[in-house]
Amino acid sequence: MNRKLICILVIFAILLSVQNVVGPATKSSGSTSGGGGGGGSKPVDIDKLLKAVEDGKKNKPDTFEELKTILWKDPITSENYTLPTVLMYYNGNNTTVSRTEPIDIITVVTNNNPLEMRRMLDLYLEVKDPGESVYRRVNSWPEKIQTNEYNEKHNTTQRTWTMLPSFLYLKKVGEVRLRVNVSDGVNKWSTASYSRVNPPFYGDLVFNVTNSLPNMSSFEVTPSGLVRYNDPIEYRSIIEDADGDMLNVTLHILDENGNEFKNETINTKPGPLSFKANEYGFFAESDSGKNFTYYYSYDDGIGNVSKDPEAPLKGPNIKKGAKLSVDRLDFTGSSENYYWWDKYGFSIRAKNLNPEEYEVSFALSTRTENSEWNTVETKTEKIGSEPVVVRFNKTEPFRVTDAGKTFYYRVKYSEYDQSGKDSMETKGARINSKIVPYSIYNSVMVLNLFPMLFIVTMIGFFMERSLKKGVEAHERSSGGAGTSRKESPARTGRNFVDSIAKMLRRR
Amino acid sequence: MDPIVQFLIDNLFAAGTIALVLLLIIAAALHINNIKNVYKLMGILQNKTVDKSHFYKEMTVSQGSNFAALAFASWIMLFVAIAFLYFLVPTVYSVSFMDLSELASNPFGFAIFGITVGLLAAVVIFFLDKLPDDRRVFRLTELYSFYAISKGTKKMIGLTLIALYCSVVLSAYVGTIYPDRSMDAQLISLALLIVSAGILVMPIYKEAWEARR
């Protein structure tokens, strides 16, 4: 309304300006600028005109109303004006879609009115979600269809509603209805008002939105077999959801009678899943000797699976074992110099805090400074309530590269000790820096050096025999016995000793 | 030990090492230069360009099988002695045979080390021997074929083998006492190496000297 009024005022101002140009000169009021004296035509400033109208609105409302009445012009209407046809358009094969499926919701407008009769259209998309009784407006600002944007041939234009790319936002699945409300400034109507519309055009676009349930696979409990209650037991699986929803997954652990023993729920995205028993405190020492089963339940906030797999899976089977008390981890060297080649003895004392007797394995490992642990020896002993000293005698755990380094040693056992650990380690001593166990006079050194010197010398002699650079080089260079060379020892069958003797006799 | 004396001894070993390296590098350069000069001279005398392979054929002098065998053994032993002095234990360099824990911990580690180095040296010498005929100057196996070598020099070259044995044994001794050190043994071992290397390349220096005169 106001806009129309302003348009009329602007036209009015232009007319006045024309009048000023062709008519007699007018005198400006005192506030006018430019003040040049003397006559002649003077254009009327539109800002001043507007200001005058605004002042009139404030100061002389009656006159202003009179002016409005004079200037009011009804919207251009014609008996020939027809309402544009506004329809929903969906080019999918069917309107049953999953929540994540991308959808292109389009509104097509056909306006057969001549350009000068067309009006700008305001479109509002409305949606009625499953279970709702009323439509809700999707766009807060109207989508505007300008009068000049229609296809000249078909008089059509369209809008794609990008603010609704899918129905992922739905928390409940079912029937979703979409429509567009239209206004041309005078008339208001809805796409739902059209009847007998055939796909891909729709008056009320109705989707049947479905949800994909999550799916679990790769069920596993590690470690497999018999485990200790405080082993790093882990329930692993993979959960997938086509919609990519956040999922609530509950692990149900059942006891031997099939009763729920523990459950734990986590909220997670689709992907690998892990429940660590120690983290959630699933099992205690009192559970030793029991066999458990488990299953999962899960939901994606819309649908749920109450039991997967249907038959609970086995695991873990917790074994009964000793509760160790260990101490007196010690070592001795065959010499006080702690050479790398010395034999070392290691020992640890252990007993079972429970009255039973169990077989427990003990593994001795050593390392020097930053190197990795190297398993030296493993032993299995029966451990009861009486302390047992487990000995690793006459071990040779070190190498020449360990010389000059401090060593550490560790005994790892197959049960947990009083500290809840399964190993005990401590620092040993500094290994002597001496790296060669033998003196130069030692028979081992003699056996090393003399044969080595002999063999290296022989390599030289055999090289000469092979290359024949002594005599034959000369013979070759002077075109001599290159081809009349004597047969090789191998060919003539002479033995190895003869060939060396002959070679040494040659001049 | 007096620090100054220790400093001098340390430097003596370093100087000896540099001398050994220079001795061998200069000998190689002189050897190439000697052959080049003779080749040039032959060209001048014959007043035409002589084919290199033909030149080498003409230059080749037989030195006898026994001498050649001893010379090969000495050269291989020279490399073994160098390896024993510098790379048996981390006395000189931090990298040593003792880093190979499995081999070094073997009771016959020293023998394995020496034989391996000897074989490697032999392979390299064999490889050099396969160079084309016009590159015969680089063949270590034919080093002495280009020089007139007296009987006395040949005997000396043969005797380097004994000196190199001694050097290897001394280096082995230094290894057996590690981390203790015997600078005397190291220096004697190095000296034997330098003397042996000097004798082995003596014909080259002698030829170069005579050519200058």
Domain ranges for chain A, please list them.
2-71, 85-210, 228-318, 324-430, 468-505
The answer on pLDDT for A143 being more than 70 is yes
Highest mean pLDDT among A34-38, A320-324, A476-480: A320-324
Question: For A193-220, what is each residue's pLDDT tens digit?
Answer: 988 888 889 999 999 999 888 999 999 9
**CB pair distance less than 8 Å for A459 and B118:** yes
**CB pair distance less than 8 Å for B60 and A433:** no
Identify the CA nearest to A448 among candidates B77, B99, B172. Answer: B172
Q: Which residue has the tokens 């009006």?
A: A119
- Measuring CA to CA, how many Å separate A39 from each of A28, A44, A228, B203? 11, 14, 112, 126
Of A436, A475, A507, the CB nearest to B175: A436
Q: Which amino acid is present at B20? A: L
Kindly state the average pLDDT of the residues A254-270: 92
Please give the order of strands across the beta sheet that includes A406-413.
Answer: A374-383, A358-368, A406-413, A423-430
- Is B128 at the interface with chain A, CB within 8 A? no
- Is B69 at the interface with chain A, CB within 8 A? yes
Which residue(s) pair with A377 in the sheet?
A364
Contacts of B194 (CB under 8 A, 6+ apart): B16, B19, B20, B23
Of B65, B69, B114, the CB nearest to A456: B114
Query: If contacts are CB pairs under 8 Å, which of residues 137-196 in chain B contact chain A?
Result: 141-142, 145, 161, 165, 168-169, 172-173, 175-180
Lowest mean pLDDT among A75-84, A133-142, A369-378: A75-84
Average pLDDT, chain B: 87
**CB pair distance less than 8 Å for A451 and B111:** yes
What is the β-pairing status of strands A344-352 and A324-333?
antiparallel
Q: Do the domains A324-430 and A85-210 match in fold?
A: yes
Provide, rounded to the nearest whole percent, the portion of chain A with pLDDT above 70.
82
Question: For A440-455, what is each residue's pLDDT tens digit?
Answer: 999 999 999 999 999 9
Instruction: Name the fold adopted by A228-318.
Output: Immunoglobulin-like (2.60.40)
CATH number for the domain formed by residue range(s) A324-430: 2.60.40.10
Given pLDDT bands bounded at 50, 70 and 90, which one contains residue A320?
A: confident
Kindly state the average pLDDT of the residues A41-59: 81
Q: Which residue has the tokens 């021997």?
A: B129
Element (DSSP H or E) covering residue A403: none
Chain A residues closer than 8 Å to B178 by CB: 433-436
Kindly state the average pLDDT of the residues A376-404: 91
**CB pair distance less than 8 Å for B178 and A459:** no
Its pTM surpasses 0.90: no
How far apart (Å, rounded) are the C-alpha atoms in residues A475 and A485?
A: 10
Q: Which amino acid is present at A475? A: E
Given pLDDT bands bounded at 50, 70 and 90, which one contains residue A37?
A: very low
- Interface test with chain A among B63, B72, B142, B157, by most A beta carbons within 10 Å: B72
How far apart (Å, rounded) are the C-alpha atoms in residues A379 and A351?
A: 15
Architecture of the domain delimited by A85-210: Sandwich (2.60)
**CB pair distance less than 8 Å for A445 and B172:** yes
What is the β-pairing status of strands A205-210 and A96-98?
parallel
Helix axes A61-71, A2-22, angle to 10 degrees: 90
* Residue A266 · residue A299 · CB < 8 Å: no
- Is B198 at the interface with chain A, CB within 8 A? no
* Residue A303 · residue A271 · CB < 8 Å: no
Sign of the Cα torsion A52, A56, A58, A64 reads negative
* Residue A252 · residue A297 · CB < 8 Å: yes
Average pLDDT for consecutive 10-residue bins of chain B (213 residues)? 71 90 94 86 78 75 84 94 91 83 83 94 90 79 83 91 95 90 91 95 89 75
**A463 CA: distance to closest CA in chain B (Å):** 7
Please give the order of strands across the beta sheet that includes A291-299.
Answer: A226-227, A304-318, A291-299, A247-254, A260-268
Quote the DSSP letter at residue A223: S
**CB pair distance less than 8 Å for B77 and A461:** no
Of B65, B76, B105, the CB nearest to A456: B76
**CB pair distance less than 8 Å for A473 and B110:** no
Q: Which residue has the tokens 């005058």?
A: A52
ipTM of the complex in this document: 0.90
Which residue(s) pair with A216 in the sheet?
A239
Q: What is the pLDDT of residue B167?
A: 96
Q: Which amino acid is present at A336? A: E
* Residue A164 · residue A197 · CB < 8 Å: no
